[in-house]
Amino acid sequence: MSLFTPLIWLLVMSPVFIIAFFKSKKGNMKFLLLFLILFLADNYIQILIKQYLPDFGLKFSWLGKFLSLATSLLVIFFVNQNDRKEIGFTTSANSKKQIKFGVLVFLGFLIFDFAFKFILFPKGGEFDLETFAFQATMPGLTEEILFRGIYLWIFDRVFLPNWHYKGIRFGWSFVIVTLLFGVAHGIILTADHQLKFDIITIVYLTSISSLSLGILRKFTGNLIYSILGHNVINVMNAIIRIL
């Protein structure tokens, strides 16, 4: 992956940032700088490690994910307790009614996701322990803490949320994080500068996985639910491929 890839993601997202700027009440715009620093640092750490460090015979970049997790935890360490709660890094959660709604919505998306992928995914692959170990742990930990934890908290500070549904506050931060997740999985500029733009991946991940995990995170008020949900989706994908 080229070092320009994260910049392309930001460029693609720039119209959404502009719309959010004009459509929402502004908060502390300085938090945008925190997002840029964290976003670029996290992605460049993972890209550089994957390109220049040996993989030790492993299929996945475990070290890159561990350092991504460490970066996120470092940010959480330096914020106060109230901010940690807003990030979702807390032992508390929303009401049982709100949690139930979030879980049911997520399960509805998950059932559709399973049926859709069961039809379209190639099958007959071989079981691979590393694949299952990785998909059951690292993506959910790193991406949920970062996207639906820290990024959501940052953009809530920049674009103040003013939408309400079932007692939960939403705003442009939810839209930005939901779309950014899809864009970051569907656009890649390779090391030899070939642009791979997969609009189907972007639309599907945004409208199914990212949206359902975002709803789960907001209605539970705790990252543990979306972390588990994310890893369930990834393990489900791996299982379907070996059926």
pLDDT at 19: 96
pLDDT in tens, 22-72: 999 989 999 999 999 999 999 999 999 988 887 788 889 999 999 999 999
List, in sequence order, the alpha helices (H) in the chain: 5-23, 31-52, 62-78, 81-87, 96-120, 129-135, 138-139, 145, 152-158, 172-186, 199-204, 211-220, 223-242
Q: Are 169 and 144 in contact (CB under 8 A)?
A: no
Domain coordinates in residue numbering, the chain: 5-242
Give the global pTM.
0.95
Q: Which pair of structure tokens corresponds to residue 93? A: 């959660």
pLDDT at 192: 87
pLDDT at 148: 97
**Environment class of residue 120 by beta-carbon count within 10 Å: exposed (0-12), middle (13-18) or buried (19+)?**
exposed
pLDDT at 230: 97
- Which parts of the chain sit beneath pLDDT 70? none
Neighbours of 8 (CB within 10 A): 16
Q: Name the packing angle between helices 211-220 and 172-186 (round to 10°).
A: 140
pLDDT at 37: 96
